[in-house]
A and B are shown apart, each in its own frame.
Chain A
Amino acid sequence: MNLDFSDDQKLLKQTAREYLSEHAPLSLCRAVLESNAAYSEALWKGIAALGWLGTAIPEEYGGAGFGRLELAVLAEEMGRCLAPIPFSSSAYLATEALVQFGSAAQKRTYLPKLATGEAIGCFAHAEKPGEPGAGSIATAFTKGKLTGNKLPVPDGDVAHFAIVTAKSGDDIALTIVDLTATGVERAAVRSIDPSRSLARVQFAGAPAQLLAGAPTGWTGVEQLLDRAAVLMAFEQLGSATRSFEITREFTLGRYAFGRPIASFQAVKHRLADLYVEIELARSNAYYAAWALSTNAPELRFAACGARASASDAFEVMSREMIQLHGGVGYTWEYDCHLFYRRAKYLAAILGSANHWREHLIERLDA
């Protein structure tokens, strides 16, 4: 038994941390948030040049041919710096969908471009308020054409193509569509976290293909979501950990009643509890990373636990970050709101913690 990353993976983590602390300080996230840009192109190009976008893409398709554990390491570092780039959409969802389910031709078409960052992919799933299930997808795929509306689509305004869930006959299928094709209309919608974008995407007979190797029905969608959930949990964990570190530092430096506020038990105990929440989420995520990297059948449960735990940990951490900063925590100038926004954005776009908990019980009972 061994529930930790290897030395090589830790080295990758350190390299990533060094690169990102120089090229993606929190001021970069803020700059995107305050501008009209959907993401930081400079950072996207930078990490593309380092080969990170091809981490889990096989070498024959231009990737680095590493595994999911390496991708998890990078996801956590992306979370730490609140990277304002479409990494999750492109690397955990679109790339994973193609690596897992694409035909050889589809892989040849898309993966090399994803690996170099020339193409950005996204995942278009939600259509209306609530948690999408097999019964709530109205977008239809017939005779090579896609019709319907997806709202919101994370990074749908900047992506070049999308993996789209659609009704195909009586089944649900994963399809792939170029977002620059005719029959696609898209527009940015305002995001609770403007450092990460959202779009409305409308398909009016847009040309699309089925992902050739996906299992039929809802199964393929679930498998894709499970895989992404684990990677997303690492991103959430990275953000929560950074948020914790900043908060700890702040409470040590802020004095009240002649003492650092970190010396008051009400504050110390809160920090101890937050630390515990993050550590439990981390443990659940490590277990899920193992299941993902080995395709273990336990992934069905592990993904749920990792995702629900990480969503809760990041949300409560970001809330308490503002609280423990006091008034400055509620200002635009302090970074707390970057974390607070990102926590809810990440928790929402892949389904709420409640949704993943329901999945968990359903699957444990199956």
Chain B
Amino acid sequence: MDFDDTAEEAAFRAEARAWLDANAERLQSGERAPGLAEGRTSPDLIKRAQAWQAKKADAGWACITWPKPYGGRGATSIQNMIWNQEQNRYKTPSDIFGIGQGMLGPTIMVHGNDEQKQRYLRPMLRGEEIWCQLFSEPAAGSDLAGLRTSAVRDGDEWIINGQKIWTTGAQYCKWGMIVTRTDPNAEKHKGITYFIVDMQAPGIDIRPIKQINGASGFNEVFFTDVRVSDKNRVGAVNEGWRGAITTLMNERASIGGGAGGGPDFNDLVTLAKLSDCDGEPAFADPAVRQRLARFYIRLKGLQYTGYRTQTALSRGATPGPESSIGKLVGAPLRQEMAGFAIDLQGATGAMIDHDAAPQEGVWQQSYLGTPGLRLAGGTDEILRNIIAERVLGLPPDIRADKGLAFKDVPTGPKNT
């Protein structure tokens, strides 16, 4: 057991740090990266993120875990972790490429054909073209395979009709990957086909949805007779579920800790020290100290669980459903920490104003943002199912739609 970097890891860290020092500004202690507090994406932020991504790509620091032929450096997951640890110390623009680079790119590498790999991967890596994931529908969220958006073949093209929802980034993305129903007479997993769509294609209507934090990160996307070339089909007809699974596996791995930035334990301690309770800092209160210690131990438990996974991966294990622990623990933990932090502030906690609220209102932002973390990329309940069924080998839930053709699957009043 060794907690420190090996010689190679230390050399890699030094190399990463040297490049970052030369190309970005270090965060001072207590300082936060820009953009995080607002949780919004402006055109300016997109431009800055793209410029930073291009700079990294030119120097070989973009998508470092991608294989070399696709422009990555074939880095190990430990190297990737080191890179992220280092990059987090700098004032870099927030990342809006994660869905493409972390989930969709790897899917194209596995299920796409040569032409698709040639055309799409490099601009994705460079951040020139941003991607979105068109999976969820109003009637198909956790039960993703219950999707209804249809694709009907018309010669060398397909015609798509239907509605997607909660599509992060649809308003600024160049490409989307969409799962569609191509055979309603087959069982629900067996009639699905996967495509790449141009988000500017005629017939696509994108309507931003306002989230509870006031931002509009996600959208509704309506498809009316949208034409997609068969060349943009990823994988075989009616076998799109296999590709979707690849995307979802990569989603779980890339969401990992589920922390998504935001205030951390040190911020919480600072807050407990500056919050006054009848002349004493809240930090002196044993009840507060107990809660703080619980948060710390959970955060550390998560972090070391990540290190154990990295150790296993570096010894040749393949990433498994265990990575569901990260988000299942991390997301509710962040939510609970935010609620607790606001409690510490007393009446002041009711303010979210940047200038008036303690610590620039980061905890209030986090309080309003974390409910989304518990939903996006698999809800807590779905993650528990995954752990129960795939890690612990417990029986699958009983499926009322088993063996039925998709068109005969019962639906509730809200699904029609």
Contact = CB atoms under 8 A, between A and B. Distances in A.
B353 interface: no
Given A271-B388, A276-B329, A3 B304 contact: yes
B327 to A, nearest CB: 11
Interface of B, secondary structure class, is helix
A69 B2 CA distance: 11
Chain A CB within 10 A, most for which of B3, B325, B389: B3
A283 B297 contact: no
Nearest to A357: B293
Interface in A33-62: none
Interface in B202-248: none
Contacts of A63: none
A305 B297 contact: yes
A296 B3 contact: yes
Given A271-B394, A284-B297, A276 B307 contact: no
A289 B395 contact: no
A252 B388 CA distance: 12
B308 A263 contact: no
A357 B328 contact: no
Interface of A, secondary structure class, is helix
B304 A283 contact: yes
Contact of B388 (A69, A269, A289, A364): A269
A357 B6 contact: no
Interface in B299-320: 300-305, 307-308, 310-312, 314-315
A259 B397 CA distance: 11
Nearest to A284: B301
Contact of A1 (B4, B290, B292, B302): B4
A360 B297 contact: yes
A308 B293 contact: yes
A68 to B, nearest CB: 10
A309 B325 CA distance: 16
The size bracket of the interface on A is 35 or more
B249 interface: no
Contacts of B269: 364-365
Contact of B392 (A3, A4, A248, A284): A248
Contacts of A287: 3, 300, 304, 307
B78 interface: yes
A4 B398 contact: no
Interface string B280-298: 0001001001101110111
B325 A248 contact: no
Interface in B34-78: 78
Nearest to A263: B395
A266 to B, nearest CB: 11
A3 B385 contact: no
A286 B3 CA distance: 10
A269 B384 contact: yes
Contacts of A269: 381, 384-385, 388
Interface in B114-152: none
Given A259-B398, A263-B397, A1 B305 contact: no
Contacts of A304: 293, 297
B5 interface: yes
A357 B297 contact: yes
B387 A3 contact: no
A308 B297 contact: yes
A263 B294 contact: no
Interface string A253-276: 000000110110100110111011
A240 interface: no
Contacts of A358: 286, 289-290, 293
Given A4-B312, A272-B388, A283 B301 contact: yes
A104 interface: no
B308 A284 contact: no
Contacts of A294: 3
A6 B6 CA distance: 15
Contacts of B391: 272, 275
A361 B290 CA distance: 8
Interface string A349-365: 00000100110110011
B394 A268 contact: yes
Cβ-closest 7 pairs across A and B: A280-B301, A357-B293, A283-B304, A268-B388, A263-B395, A272-B387, A272-B384
Given A2-B314, A283-B305, 16 more contacts: A2-B1, A3-B307, A4-B1, A4-B312, A265-B397, A268-B385, A269-B384, A269-B388, A280-B301, A283-B300, A283-B301, A304-B297, A357-B289, A358-B286, A361-B293, A364-B269
22 contacts: A3-B310, A3-B311, A4-B312, A263-B394, A265-B397, A272-B328, A272-B383, A276-B329, A280-B298, A280-B301, A283-B300, A283-B305, A283-B307, A287-B3, A291-B3, A304-B293, A305-B297, A308-B297, A357-B290, A358-B293, A361-B289, A364-B269
